[in-house]
Amino acid sequence: MGEARRTVEELEGVVGDLEKEYNDRKSEREEFAKFLRDNNLEVEEYDPTTGPPGEPEESITSQVMRLGTLKFYEGDAQQPTSTWEFKADGDFVSQDANLNG
């Protein structure tokens, strides 16, 4: 009986450690999701029944701010039909339109 009691006490400590680690990781994940949302990235709510969350999608606004350009393609065109450039603060700089016909 004494050995069983020691095993139970050891497992209680392990369970407590696992709960703390789970809560820490959950908090980190929630903080990171908030950071992504604050930076205009779409983040799905975490649902443990569906598995781990997918990669966030970058919004077109944050992509333009990161790259400084917005390119438009017509149909299956390999080259953009129009390119817009922006400063880091979002101010419009220029537009290059490659219009054919």
- Sheet with strand 69-72: strands edge to edge: 69-72, 82-86, 92-97
Residue 101 pLDDT: 41
pLDDT tens track of the chain, all 101 residues? 688 888 888 878 778 888 888 889 888 888 888 888 888 777 777 777 887 766 667 777 777 777 888 888 888 888 888 888 888 777 888 888 765 54
On whether both 16 and 35 belong to a single domain, the answer is yes
Q: How far apart are CA 84 and CA 52, in angstroms?
A: 37
Residue 56 pLDDT: 65
Counting the structural domains of the chain, the total is 2
| DSSP character at residue 90 | S
Helix or strand holding residue 58 (H, E)? strand 57-58
Neighbours of 33 (CB within 10 A): 17
On whether both 12 and 24 belong to a single domain, the answer is yes
Q: How far apart are CA 97 and CA 72, in angstroms?
A: 9
What is the extent of the structural domain holding 14? 1-58
Indicate yes or no: pTM above 0.75.
no
On whether both 20 and 45 belong to a single domain, the answer is yes
Residue 90 pLDDT: 74
On whether both 45 and 85 belong to a single domain, the answer is no
On whether both 34 and 66 belong to a single domain, the answer is no
